[in-house]
Chain A
């Protein structure tokens, strides 16, 4: 199942054309290989005249593709960015775990109620550096998404994350937190078990933890459900990720009284990485490869890994006391305006 975003059509057409050419070349190469032993090489050059031509065409198509990726992706509207951030082929937590971390020992359960699979965590190693990893987990298949609730955590997820963060403090481990959620789950049981209290407590405790906290918003940063594990010293965001107080659809249905006005709401909410950087709400943007993270997961993982290592190195040099002070000051400054 491939998802085609309308603004990506040009890119996908070019990709398909290139793929066709490659297929044709492979086929002719195979045909040539079959022919050559019987004809003992005399007629081997028969398909050759078209080869350089084809190579040339492929080259120019590739150039056009790179150009198209760059052009389309440097001019995404906020609503298009929302669609990229939600793209099903975008790397998910488990891709980051498999590709960046050499070890992951998952730790289960909140010791109160259950084990949330929408928000997981455990000990992890990145380049021999030991960290506490937590993150929202979305799935790729329907079954996986049922298990992980599409990355919408319940209170026990936030309480498990809190338990692991306290453990990180005890073991003096930096925390690496991956954010990718539509929001905390809005369900009856979630309310009964105190979704609000669980998130509030995380916000309070995270502001006092004296170990480094690196946060990466990889896809959707959905409101309180995202912030509940995102009070970090370094809050990084992939270039096509989003981070918002409400979904554009939700905002549109309230303020525009029309859910289909989501593109307008996405624009107004300033939920893209460059806007948030300008507002001083995030610390750095991690550039995705041209054409988006879903087009080149390996390059995305490499960029995320480099960014995590860079920030861990910086943060580990800061004394625990100063770290807490710095984090407090950083969040205190958000929404503080001189003209008052």
Chain B
């Protein structure tokens, strides 16, 4: 059936090319990539489960060492990024409002401004932009730090001292990144909603703050808050696990650290987008 359709719509040379067998080298390359992909998924899954296991079994162990590390990571992946996120929030508000106000005014649908802000910023752009920025600023640093530590033999030193490297190096990063992405998303959304109204005000849109707030409240559902929290925590967890896995879970030489960083960024983005797609399905089916 598929061949007939192709034959009916495609020119003769293209039809000949289509019927050619897949080159051996290409099929081998595709197979190799697929095999490596499955191995990576297996490795990441195992690493995530080990990390969760350590978080559960060693929740209160060595807390005078681990908790200061957690606070440090929360500060690094959250507090210190706040100025940048306030700037991004202002830009995001301008981006969404600037594009939508003129069109909504034309069709007389300015009452949907708050709804658009909720759909675009609260449900989608806010969490995803936050995750990507945290990945760029902190996730890449994680791979470089841990990869260098691994290459310099620091992981073996921890093992020799009876210190679990996952407990000491990974758990604080997972908690820090999950809380950091969650907090920054909240700040980014609040900043974008406020700046959005300010940009609308500058463009002389006849919308009172109370009406804007009413629109926002009307568009928000209880599920939004729960899913926003879950989604952002999941993004932080994915970024932490993927970057720590590539920095730590396999023997590295110093010259391999840049490649590990590139792989970690690509896989983190894919992981976050897949989780985002899952949450869209939940939104649509609820």
> A and B bound?
no
Residues of chain A at the chain B interface (Cβ within 8 Å): none
Residues of chain B at the chain A interface (Cβ within 8 Å): none
